Amino acid sequence: MPNNQAVRNFRQPVVRAGDTRKHVFGGFQRCCYPYQRFQSNEEREFAVLIDSANETDVLRWMKPGSRQFRIEYANGQPYEPDFVVETRTQKLIVEIKAANEMTDPVVQAKARAACKWVRYANEHAAQTGGKLWAYALVPHDAVLPSASLAGLMARYELVAPAAAVT
């Protein structure tokens, strides 16, 4: 973080939403790190949602740092998801994407790779007694103040078909 940059409270919107990525945010209760950057205002709003007192099942969350949580797709290219969230019952990978990019071939390839990763992670969790994982690809316009994590997962969770894992 640059020394001259002030840390903004993540609950306070940036006046020009497009400038969100220029700021460093803090003030989290459940984030694994004291500071985070967001690529979009919708990512910041999702953080507000999962860090709120209403989301009592959320234990912790993070936006993985560069090379911290990589899923390979398309001949080994790295995909780094937007959020990793641990709840009382499971672990979640959540990607917030512009609604007009949801069907983009690269976005879909990353989603398939994440679903495959989740399948293998769940096989391991079943063998070791760990929490199960889930993946959701959430359109940006679904991240609303009235939304809940459970509601977003119920609507946007993706599951890899068994044939895709082989």
The CATH number given to whatever domain includes residue 94 is 3.40.1350
Domain of residue 147: give its range. Answer: 7-165
Collapsing DSSP to helix, strand or coil, 139 comes out as strand
- For residue 1, being part of any structural domain is answered with no
Q: How many domains does the chain have?
A: 1
pTM of the entire predicted model: 0.91
- For residue 2, being part of any structural domain is answered with no
- For residue 104, being part of any structural domain is answered with yes
For the stretch 31-35, contacts whose Cβ atoms lie closer than 8 Å and that sit 24 or more positions apart, written own/partner, are 31/60, 31/61, 31/62, 32/60, 32/61, 32/62, 33/62, 35/1, 35/7
- For residue 86, being part of any structural domain is answered with yes
Per-residue model confidence as pLDDT tens for the chain (166 residues): 556 678 999 999 998 989 999 999 999 999 999 999 999 999 999 999 999 989 999 999 999 988 889 999 998 899 999 999 999 999 999 999 999 999 999 999 999 999 999 999 999 999 999 999 999 999 999 999 999 999 999 999 998 655 444 4
